[in-house]
Amino acid sequence: MLPSTLIRPSSVLFVFLDGVGLGEADRAINPLAAHPLPAFEHLAGGAPWTAETPLVSAADHVVRPIDATLGVEGLPQSGTGQATLFSGVNCAALAGRHYGPYPHSTSKPILREQSIFARLLGAGHETEHLAFANAYPERFFVHAWERKRWTVTTYACRKAGIRLRTTEELRQGDALAAGITNALWRTHLDPSMPEVHEEEGARRLARFAEHHPFTLFEYYLTDKAGHAQDAAQAESILRTLDRFFGALLDLLDFKRTLLVVSSDHGNLEDLSIKTHTRHPVPLIAHGVGASALAEATSLTDVTPALVPLLGPTKTGA
């Protein structure tokens, strides 16, 4: 139950970074410690994102590590980690193992009925008020239908009736590519797709937050760079993200919007290994209502803390 004194945000913007943990402050293996990243540090209360990042617990700013292992042996994976993060149910324990990258069969009923989108709909929000900002190319949909393999986020959106955005919306400026800048889209899919700078990507996401009570954006290149063990690639994407976050921090009205940043498992923070890690992941809440997340300790705690901030909206509820 929310404290009666807690001021609720008008909107929550959730930026999900795949595969980012809080590891050793070792510049030789951890790109989050190796490079100056002013926006990242601002989000974390002035410190780099490492295991040494101090806790922040203020009314409008929370920074804390949360557990991604979920009491299950082995290395955390995207399928069960994301399903847990976006539902509040320990999907790794339910499956009896960490599983990924797609949803485990035992996670699918959870995502249908208890995803953050499903919960917000149950609290009275309309589907058009909930947004998933990512755009997907046509071939993604073809492969997903043919193989019946949807990612956690797209599966949750489909089951809740949340719009999945396409090439056309990306071209019109009504969506973001997963890499923010459209560079990969232009290289591998469509050279005619307009270039997008990080600042424009931030403007697009800020518009989502202005017009939707809840918006989710998923960034996955962090996990890919971790698996590649590529220090140059890691630096490049972190600088892209830092410019993006810097612009977003300037654009958002934190008196009405809560920015949440978190991840599903560690990876990028240790380039000495190719696999995921068992490190905790960051949970950052910046803006009005942030203190609702001040007691979170696990992936299971995020969605149950966020949903009450935005609901219920039903008359008499």
**Any idea what the CATH number is for the domain that residue 210 is in?**
3.40.720
CA distance 227 to 222: 9
The arithmetic mean of pLDDT across residues 43-50, rounded, is 98
The arithmetic mean of pLDDT across residues 140-169, rounded, is 95
List 281's β-bridge partners, or say none.
Answer: 66
CA distance 257 to 227: 33
- Using the predicted structure, report yes or no on whether residue 148 has a pLDDT greater than 90: no
User: Poorest-confidence range of 63-77, 81-95, 183-197, 205-219?
Assistant: 183-197
Question: Binning pLDDT at 50, 70 and 90, where does residue 315 land?
Answer: very low
Question: Binning pLDDT at 50, 70 and 90, where does residue 188 land?
Answer: confident
At 3 the pLDDT is 60
- Using the predicted structure, report yes or no on whether residue 309 has a pLDDT greater than 70: yes
Question: Binning pLDDT at 50, 70 and 90, where does residue 2 land?
Answer: low
**Domain annotation covers residue 82:** no
**Domain annotation covers residue 281:** yes
CA distance 104 to 222: 22
At 312 the pLDDT is 73
Q: What percent of the chain has pLDDT over 70?
A: 97
At 211 the pLDDT is 97
**Domain annotation covers residue 100:** no
**Domain annotation covers residue 36:** yes
The arithmetic mean of pLDDT across residues 54-73, rounded, is 98
Query: Per residue in 191-244, pLDDT tens?
Result: 989 999 999 999 999 999 999 999 999 999 999 999 999 999 999 999 999 999
Cis-peptide into 101, omega within 30 deg: yes
At 250 the pLDDT is 98
**What is the model's pTM?**
0.96
**Domain annotation covers residue 1:** no
At 311 the pLDDT is 77
Could you give the number of structural domains in the chain? 1
**Domain annotation covers residue 34:** yes
Instruction: Report DSSP state, residue 48.
Output: -
Q: How far is CA 152 from CA 19, 36, 107, 117, 220, in A?
A: 14, 32, 9, 12, 12
At 313 the pLDDT is 61
- Using the predicted structure, report yes or no on whether residue 95 has a pLDDT greater than 90: yes
Query: First CA to last CA across the chain, in angstroms?
Result: 14
**Domain annotation covers residue 294:** yes
**Domain annotation covers residue 105:** no
Query: Per residue in 99-124, pLDDT tens?
Result: 999 999 999 999 999 999 999 999 99
DSSP alpha helices (H): ranges in the chain?
Answer: 31-34, 38-43, 78-85, 91-95, 108-114, 116-122, 138-147, 152-160, 167-172, 183-188, 198-211, 221-228, 231-251, 302-310
Query: Per residue in 260-277, pLDDT tens?
Result: 999 999 999 999 999 999
- Using the predicted structure, report yes or no on whether residue 1 has a pLDDT greater than 60: no
Domain that holds residue 64: 11-72+112-310
Q: Which residues are within 8 A (CB) of 202 and not within 5 positions of it... i.e. 6 or more apart?
A: 244, 245, 247, 248, 250, 251
